[in-house]
């Protein structure tokens, strides 16, 4: 593989495959973004904004567990739907919406 056409910004790659790094970073960013969205969504849906105490109460804890499970399921469902639509539209297009 050649890194020669990568410009001055990436000139110092001593034996580092920048494509591989980029791919890993994209994956990392995707998972991080997904996780942060999950934290935000489940927080606004499950946590009482009165803040009378610092502990998660029983109801909130159960809500969080279910919220995470559902969020994951929704991701899967949306992915499947998008994939089937893309496949239907473009014939045999390889989808990129599989597992994380």
Q: What is the rounded distance in angstroms from the CA atom of residue 35 to the CA atom of residue 71? A: 10
Nearest distance from residue 31's CB to other proteins, in Å?
7
Q: Which positions from 61 through 80 interact with other proteins, judged by CB under 8 A? A: 61, 64-65, 67-69, 72
- Applying CB under 8 A, which part among 1-9, 59-67, 84-92 lies near other proteins? 59-67
Residue 15 sits in the site that holds other proteins (CB under 8 A): yes
Under 8 Å between Cβ of 44 and 62: no
Beta-carbon contacts of residue 69 (< 8 Å; ≥ 6 apart): none
11 binding other proteins? (CB under 8 A) = no
Determine the Cα–Cα distance for residues 81 and 88; give it in Å rounded to an integer: 10
Is the CB of residue 40 less than 8 Å from the CB of residue 58? no
Q: How far, in Å, CA of 58 to CA of 64, rounded?
A: 10
The answer to the question of residue 100 lying near other proteins (CB under 8 A) is yes
Give the footprint of other proteins on this chain (CB under 8 A). 14-17, 20-21, 24-25, 27-29, 31-32, 35-36, 38-40, 42-43, 46-47, 49, 51-56, 60-61, 64-65, 67-69, 72, 99-100
């Amino acid at each position: 593989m050649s890194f020669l056409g990568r410009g001055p910004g990436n000139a110092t790659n001593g034996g580092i495959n920048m494509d591989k790094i980029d791919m890993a970073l994209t994956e990392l960013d995707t998972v991080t973004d997904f996780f942060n969205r999950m934290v935000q969504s489940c927080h606004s849906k499950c946590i009482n904004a009165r803040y009378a105490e610092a502990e998660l109460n029983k109801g909130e804890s159960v809500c969080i567990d279910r919220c995470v499970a559902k969020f994951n399921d929704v991701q899967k469902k949306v992915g499947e739907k998008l994939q089937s639509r893309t496949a239907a539209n473009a014939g045999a297009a390889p989808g990129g919406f599989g597992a994380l």
